[in-house]
């Protein structure tokens, strides 16, 4: 009897150790009966319909219908210019609920925060009160979304960027529940590292607001190159998906299979900036648009569209199925 309860206690200890190594909240989404999954990715969008936000939304609705999408991913900068003022900010309806009205877009949205969101009341965007106003809305800081064949790792990238902390006079950032910064970042990287290590999904995609590689206005984010990228490389991440640059980009890596995909064309764009980059540039479009992802266990396809819903760029990759025996 004593040894039995001892075993139970040992088991409980092991279980608690396992769960403490993956602090990131884990969500689940089912795939289609045929084993496929499709979704749209949009970033940098909330401008009350202006700057072609509504046109992009209309085309997302049309393509979303065609692809029978399962959900939508937002790469952040959800509400301009300065996030939400509170859970009662009408911008939530004016920039989200009343803009993405198409039937195919009445699916779950999974969102991260962008730097502009941090200029407002961050806790409001994370609040379940918004889910009561529009049940599609779900924004968390960092989390994992498993959909059988794929694990999405959503990463809160804004706290990584030095100049948001070093120039507090230029903008006020809402660092509640983030500061002290070093503890927050090191815990996040540790949790992400163990979650990626534990992931058994065929595909591993990472979503964040900031660029890792970029040929546009924001260029590479050096803090992510040094601290986040090594973890993604170590665990065989397939795609890094971001916004922040108000354009569409596809960059392939010279030193890993990671593809860098920017979908930040949700509203205001046309910045007219192009910087060359040592990695392989596959596609760059300086205007509005969005991206789709279609997946099976053995194939992933990325498509970029402009504000008319025309296909601008297509890319796909296959994976061989290895027997687990
Ligand atoms: C809206 O989209 C069209 C077509 O891409 C573009 O010519 C126009 O400049 C855009 N308007 C704004 C305000 O960005």
| pLDDT tens sequence across 284-316 | 999 999 999 999 999 999 999 999 999 999 999
**Mean pLDDT, residues 121-135:** 97
Residue 325 within any structural domain of the chain: no
Residues in the annotated binding site: 44, 77, 80, 115, 209, 244, 246
The β-bridge partners of 79 are: none
Q: What is the CA radius of gyration of the chain?
A: 20
* The token pair that represents 20 in the structure block: 């403490």
Q: Whose CA is nearest to atom 5 of ligand 1?
A: 307
Model confidence band, residue 320 (pLDDT cutoffs 50, 70, 90): confident
DSSP state of 39: E
Does residue 38 have its Cβ closer than 6 Å to ligand 1?
no
Distances (CA, A) of 64 to 56, 77, 107, 175: 12, 21, 10, 35
End-to-end CA distance of the chain: give it in Å, rounded.
38
Residue 289 within any structural domain of the chain: yes
Question: CA-CA-CA-CA torsion for 92, 118, 195, 199, nearest 10 degrees?
Answer: 40
Ligand 1: centre distance to CA 153 (Å) = 32
Q: Map residue 3 onto helix, strand or coil.
A: helix
What count of Cα atoms within 13 Å lies in the side-chain half-sphere of residue 199?
31
Residue 156 within any structural domain of the chain: yes
Does residue 51 have its Cβ closer than 6 Å to ligand 1?
yes
* The token pair that represents 262 in the structure block: 């920017």
Strand arrangement, sheet containing 280-285: 25-28, 143-147, 150-155, 203-208, 239-242, 259-263, 248-252, 280-285
* CB 161, CB 222: distance < 8 Å: no
Residue 320 within any structural domain of the chain: no
Ligand 1: centre distance to CA 192 (Å) = 38
Q: What is the pLDDT of residue 149?
A: 97
Does residue 53 have its Cβ closer than 6 Å to ligand 1?
no
Does residue 270 have its Cβ closer than 6 Å to ligand 1?
yes
CA dihedral sign of residues 249, 300, 320, 208: positive
- In this predicted structure, the answer to whether residue 10 has a pLDDT above a threshold of 90 is no
Tell me the CATH number at 301: 3.60.21.10
CA dihedral sign of residues 234, 319, 146, 75: positive
Give the span between the Cα atoms of 157 and 212, in whole angstroms.
10
Of 167, 274, 162, residue with least CA distance to 218: 274
Residue 46 within any structural domain of the chain: yes
Model confidence band, residue 232 (pLDDT cutoffs 50, 70, 90): very high
Give the span between the Cα atoms of 296 and 320, in whole angstroms.
12
Mean pLDDT of the chain: 93
Residue 261 within any structural domain of the chain: yes
Which amino acids are annotated catalytic? Answer: 218
Domain count, the chain: 1
Q: Phi/psi class of residue 210: alpha, beta or left (left: φ > 0; alpha: ψ in -120 to 50)?
A: beta
Of 167, 210, 30, 163, residue with least CA distance to 108: 30
Does residue 52 have its Cβ closer than 6 Å to ligand 1?
yes
Domain that holds residue 60: 4-315
Of 295, 152, 290, 319, residue with least CA distance to 232: 152
Residues in the annotated binding site for Fe cation: 44, 77, 80, 115, 209, 244, 246
Give the span between the Cα atoms of 259 and 240, in whole angstroms.
6
* Out of 23-32, 137-146, 222-231, 274-283, least confident range: 274-283
What count of Cα atoms within 13 Å lies in the side-chain half-sphere of residue 152?
25
Residue 232 within any structural domain of the chain: yes
Ligand 1 binding pocket mutation candidate from 55, 288, 304 (most atoms within 8 A of CB): 288
Ligand 1: centre distance to CA 247 (Å) = 12
Model confidence band, residue 21 (pLDDT cutoffs 50, 70, 90): very low
Instruction: Report which ligand 1 atom has the smallest distance to the Cα of 288.
Output: 5
Of 258, 254, 245, residue with least CA distance to 205: 258
Q: Whose CA is nearest to atom 9 of ligand 1?
A: 270
Ligand 1: centre distance to CA 270 (Å) = 8
Residue 161 within any structural domain of the chain: yes
Q: What is the pLDDT of residue 323?
A: 55
């Amino acid at each position: 009897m004593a040894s039995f309860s001892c075993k139970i206690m040992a088991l409980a200890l092991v279980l608690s150790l396992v769960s403490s190594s993956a602090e990131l909240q884990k969500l689940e989404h089912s795939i289609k009966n045929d084993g496929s999954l499709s979704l749209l990715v949009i970033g940098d969008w909330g401008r009350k319909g202006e700057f072609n936000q509504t046109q992009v939304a209309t085309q997302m609705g049309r393509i979303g219908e065609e692809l029978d999408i399962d959900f939508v991913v937002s790469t952040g900068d959800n509400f301009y210019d300065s996030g939400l003022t509170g859970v009662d900010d009408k911008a939530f309806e004016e920039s989200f609920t009343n803009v993405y009205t198409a039937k195919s877009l009445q699916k779950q949205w999974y969102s991260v925060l962008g730097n502009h969101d941090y200029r407002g009341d961050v806790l409001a965007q994370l609040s379940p009160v918004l889910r009561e106003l529009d049940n599609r809305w779900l924004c968390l800081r960092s989390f994992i979304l498993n959909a059988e064949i794929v694990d999405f790792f959503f990463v809160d990238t804004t706290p990584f960027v030095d100049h948001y902390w070093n120039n507090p006079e230029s903008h006020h950032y809402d660092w509640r529940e983030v500061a002290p910064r070093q503890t927050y970042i090191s815990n996040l990287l540790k949790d992400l590292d163990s979650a990626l290590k534990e992931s058994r999904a065929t595909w591993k995609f990472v979503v964040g607001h900031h660029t890792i590689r970029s040929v546009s206005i924001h260029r590479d984010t050096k803090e992510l190159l040094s601290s986040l990228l090594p973890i993604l490389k170590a665990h065989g991440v397939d795609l890094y998906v971001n916004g922040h640059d108000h354009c569409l980009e596809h960059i392939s890596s010279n030193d890993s299979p990671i593809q860098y995909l920017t979908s930040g064309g949700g509203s205001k764009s046309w910045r007219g900036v192009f910087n060359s980059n040592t990695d392989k540039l596959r596609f760059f479009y300086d205007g509005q648009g969005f991206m789709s992802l279609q997946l099976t266990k053995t194939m992933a396809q990325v498509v970029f569209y402009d504000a008319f819903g025309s296909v601008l760029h297509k890319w796909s990759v296959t994976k061989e199925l290895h027997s687990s025996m």
